[in-house]
Amino acid sequence: MKLTHASKTLLAGVALLGALALTACDNDDAAKAGDSPSGAKPTTSADAGQGGGASGGGSGGSGSADEGAGENGTGEGDGEVGACRSDALEVTAADNTTDKTEGVITVQFKNGGGRDCSIDGYAGVDLKTATGDTLSVDRNGDQSHPAVLKDGESAAFNLTFPVNTTGGSGVRVAHILVTPPNETKTVTIAWPAGSLPVSGGDSSDNAPKLTISPVGKVSDSPAG
């Protein structure tokens, strides 16, 4: 069908009215959405307050966890016994040598912390010579036995060493560097015995060596 000029003008007018109607609908929808271009609901002060409350709740949870920790901040609860700490132990050494070739030094830990503590395993031990050299000490391989020390009770271990029978001055040990089991703080105490042979003793397998036993409660320990 051939359109006349008047018909074309009428169709153009109808199209224009349709476009205006769509624009009005879009503007009405935008108004309902809070005039936000994305249509998202704008944040209100009430919403912001709810967000702050959630954040505050998280901090409160952290505080509750801290309150549940032990008095020393180690997380030890009621009824649990923490490891014996260097600062709570009185560390001493005594020469208990009775053999002419193998010496024995007993290192003792006395609990003076005012509360029970547990001790188990081997101490860390190094010897410091008078010239500043460090001698390492091996474990003797014996099985350790855990113990609980009440305030005033002690645990101990033995350090065996070759006795200097060469007639010379030998190696003079000045200090014992002791780190209690499951601890990191080292305690330095004086060496209470004589010198070591320069060669470290006889080269045979039965020769005395620098070794330590595991720590045990005094009643059960090698110290007797």
Q: pLDDT, tens digit, for every residue of 36-69?
A: 444 444 333 333 333 333 333 333 333 333 333 3
Residue 75 falls within a domain, yes or no?
no
Spatial distance between the Cα atoms of 179 and 181, rounded to a whole number of angstroms: 7
Residue 223 falls within a domain, yes or no?
no
Whether 123 and 56 map to the same domain: the answer is: no
Residue 131 falls within a domain, yes or no?
yes
Spatial distance between the Cα atoms of 157 and 222, rounded to a whole number of angstroms: 6
Whether 105 and 189 map to the same domain: the answer is: yes
Whether 202 and 114 map to the same domain: the answer is: yes
Whether 49 and 159 map to the same domain: the answer is: no
CB atoms within 10 A of CB 154: 19
Residue 205: predicted pLDDT = 55
pTM of the predicted structure, to 2 decimals: 0.63
Q: Which residues pair with 154 in a beta bridge?
A: 110
Q: Please tell me the total count of domains within the chain.
A: 2
Whether 63 and 104 map to the same domain: the answer is: no
At residue 172 the predicted structure's pLDDT band, cuts being 50, 70 and 90, is very high
Whether 52 and 92 map to the same domain: the answer is: no
Spatial distance between the Cα atoms of 66 and 115, rounded to a whole number of angstroms: 22
Residue 80: predicted pLDDT = 87
More reliable by pLDDT, 96 or 42:
96
Res. 132: pLDDT tops 90: yes
More reliable by pLDDT, 68 or 206:
206
Res. 104: pLDDT tops 50: yes
Residue 199: predicted pLDDT = 73
Spatial distance between the Cα atoms of 169 and 197, rounded to a whole number of angstroms: 8
Reading phi first (left if > 0) and then psi (alpha if -120 to 50, else beta), residue 132 is in: left
Residue 16, domain extent: 5-67
Whether 188 and 102 map to the same domain: the answer is: yes
Whether 34 and 132 map to the same domain: the answer is: no
Residue 77 falls within a domain, yes or no?
no
Of 211, 204, 109, 187, residue with least CA distance to 152:
109
Q: What is the CATH number of the domain that holds 208?
A: 2.60.40.10
